[in-house]
Amino acid sequence: MSKYYVNKFLYQVDGNPLLLADYKADAAALLVRWERDYGTHLGINHTIERTSWLGFTDRERQALIEHDYVTLFELGAHFFLCLTIFIAIYDDDYAARSGPLAFQREYAQKLSHWIGKDYPTVAL
């Protein structure tokens, strides 16, 4: 897994309301745009240096498109980055339908098979 690249995506999209809205509306299109406009840029202002070796694996790409946070977690994406981006995407809808913390409860239930296991490493 290109953990750095996936975590960079999760962090940047979660921190940008416009990217987050686009990710919720059309994840596949946002992924293509993010890779082109953000993913290969290095540095704080994202304009000075670029890299050509970073990229998503097919499995990462599919999990990101499908908002499959269980697979992302199992691949080693940072749990907090996964949790916060998907709370931002789903919390209002889940709360309106099932009350406060409904999404967080589902997230915990879907990851409950990890109870008693070592957390997947987030090391690069």
- 13-49 residue pLDDT tens: 999 999 999 999 999 999 999 998 888 776 655 556 6
**Residue 122 counted as domain residue:** no
- 83-97 residue pLDDT tens: 999 999 999 999 999
Structure tokens at 121: 């490493």
**Residue 120 counted as domain residue:** no
Interatomic CA distance for residues 107 and 100, integer angstroms: 13
- pLDDT on residue 121: 66
Total structural domains within the chain: 1
**Residue 90 counted as domain residue:** yes
Helices (H), 15-101: 17-25, 27-34, 58-65, 69-75, 79-98
- pLDDT on residue 123: 59
**Residue 121 counted as domain residue:** no
Structure tokens at 115: 């109870």
Interatomic CA distance for residues 120 and 123, integer angstroms: 9
Lowest mean pLDDT among 54-63, 66-75, 112-121: 112-121
Give the range of the structural domain holding residue 78, as residue numbers without chain letter.
3-114
**Residue 32 counted as domain residue:** yes
**Residue 123 counted as domain residue:** no
Once rounded to an integer, what is the mean pLDDT over residues 46-67? 82
**Residue 23 counted as domain residue:** yes
